[in-house]
Amino acid sequence: MNRLHRFFALLALWTLLAPVGMLVSLSIGSGWSYPRLLPDRIDLLPWRVFFASRDGIVTALLHSTMMSLLVSASSTLLGLVAGRSLRKHASLWLRVIAYIPFGVSPMVIGTCLYDLEVHLGVAGRMMGVLMAQFIFAFGFSTVLFCELWNTRTDRLESLVIELGGSRWSIWRHAIWPYAHRLILVSLLQTALYSWLDYGLISVLGGGNVPSITLTLYSYIREGSVNQAAQSGLVLMLPPVVGFAVSMSLLRPRHDGEKTN
């Protein structure tokens, strides 16, 4: 059984790493003709082209970073408050509204919001994209934090109140020690959503809001399989890192680990 387990573990690992290895091999050269497994020329051309256009890359990185930070901070903060209120009121309709971003395509919502943003004068601007991204990020945070509250958090809040704590003390001493890992996960996931968003930026930004995703997709559409492989690796890196960090934050704590 141990050998069988190792075999399936190696098979699963190979299944996960083989596509990544293919992308890496294609990204280090130019050209790819049958029946070669490696590019025709190993010249690192895709990466040299990527770093050569540093002005556009730097601008896209700055815009994407700014939008990610704004969406992540605002949606997590308001989602934490909304999730707590939603749990206390236990309204079915409010829960349905919170789940709407999970059931509707961003392209559909972006198209529906376009006329409204045109009237508001934010279409084709960063503010319009931020407003649309906030809807999805806020819905994710609200649903995530809605499941946080339980009898244990209620008891912690009651304890702080009985000891004469203020509203700020409740959040600091009862909620933050219990929810800080989930808050960090929400910050990370909502930032990744904004960072990797393509549909809302392309529809509502109208090409006037530069982002790293739009820049990399433009490389993919150029028709070079090598440049597409390099762009795919750059697009794939943040979700992989985010997944690893989230798993580390959400892993069960050992019995001997101190709790706050």
Dump pLDDT digits (tens) for 80-138: 888 878 777 666 777 777 777 777 778 888 888 888 888 888 888 889 899 989 988 99
Segments of the chain scoring below 50 in pLDDT: 255-260
Question: 37-68 burial, b for 16+ CB within 10 Å, e for fewer?
Answer: eebeeeebbbbebbeeeeeebeebbebbeebb
Report pLDDT for 256: 44
pLDDT at residue 68 in the model: 92
> Which residues, at least 6 apart from 260, have a Cβ–Cβ distance to it below 8 Å?
177, 178, 180
Cis omega (within 30 of 0) on the bond before 39? no
Give, in words, the CATH class of 54-150+186-249: mainly alpha
Quote the pTM value. Answer: 0.78
Output helix, strand, coil percentages for the chain, rounded to the nearest 5: 75, 0, 20
Q: What is the pLDDT of residue 54?
A: 64
Helix (H, G, I), strand (E, B) or coil at 30: strand
Name, in order, each residue with C-beta under 8 angstroms of 219's C-beta and a sequence gap of 6 or more.
49, 50, 227, 228, 230, 231
In this prediction, residue 257 carries a pLDDT of 45
Euclidean distance between CA atoms 141 and 145, whole angstroms:
6
Q: For residue 70, what pLDDT is reported?
A: 94
Question: Number of C-alpha atoms within 13 angstroms, CB side, residue 137?
Answer: 32
- Distance separating alpha carbons of residues 104 and 225, to the nearest angstrom: 32
